[in-house]
Amino acid sequence: MNYTPIQRLALKGMDNQSLINLIRQASTNFPDTSLIITPRIDQSGQAYYWTGLRYGSTELDFALLLNREIEAFILCFLIKGKDGMTDISNYSPDPTMTNGINWLQSHMYRHLEYSQQTQDFIRHSNGRTFQNKKLKFPFGSIVYSQEIENVLSVQPQ
């Protein structure tokens, strides 16, 4: 396997429409474009994707606030790449997406059926331990991550 060094840049202050346009432009110009998605919920309850947009030797990292159209756009891209990108008419985040449900668990179950493969693993970062589940797609992956306090308490699922 060849190792390609990746230059990582964090983007801040861009709106959803500009970020979606970045995904569109990268996938048009670079056939190897992929997304690494980590679904999260911020302190106000807003669902978002911490997104890694990889193309060439670059990874752009950014937060993409969600609504149903943006969520569908990302899933279609993961499955079909640039050929799956749907139109988006509303770029405004939907603050009600997580109300009344365990959104992260619901998200995982809804996306699991579309994935090609899953992988469970433990990751250590900055003295903290995380249990992860990765759903793999042709054009990227979705990683669900949960911090665990005691490594000995991890139960197989």
Q: Provide DSSP, the chain.
A: ------EEEE--S--HHHHHHHHHHHHHH-TT-EEEEEEEE-TTS-EEEEEEEEETTEEEEEEEE--HHHHHHHHHHHHHGGGGPPP-S--S--TTTTTTS-HHHHHHHHHHTT-SEEEEEEEEETTEEEEEEEEEETTEEEEEEEEES-GGG----
Q: What is the pTM of this model?
A: 0.87
Q: In what order do the strands lie in the sheet with 128-137?
A: 7-10, 58-65, 47-55, 34-41, 140-148, 128-137, 117-125
Do 74 and 62 contact (CB within 8 A), yes or no?
no
Angle at 21 between CA 144 and CA 4, to 5 degrees: 60
Q: Which two three-digit tokens encode residue 36? A: 């690494």
CA–CA gap between residue 24 and residue 140 (Å, rounded):
15
Q: Give pLDDT < 50 ranges for the chain.
A: none
Do 25 and 10 contact (CB within 8 A), yes or no?
no
- Looking at residue 100, its pLDDT comes to 73
Burial label, 157 (beta-carbon count in 10 A; 0-12, 13-18, 19+): exposed
- Looking at residue 151, its pLDDT comes to 53
| Best CA proximity match to 121, nearest among 103, 140, 141 | 141
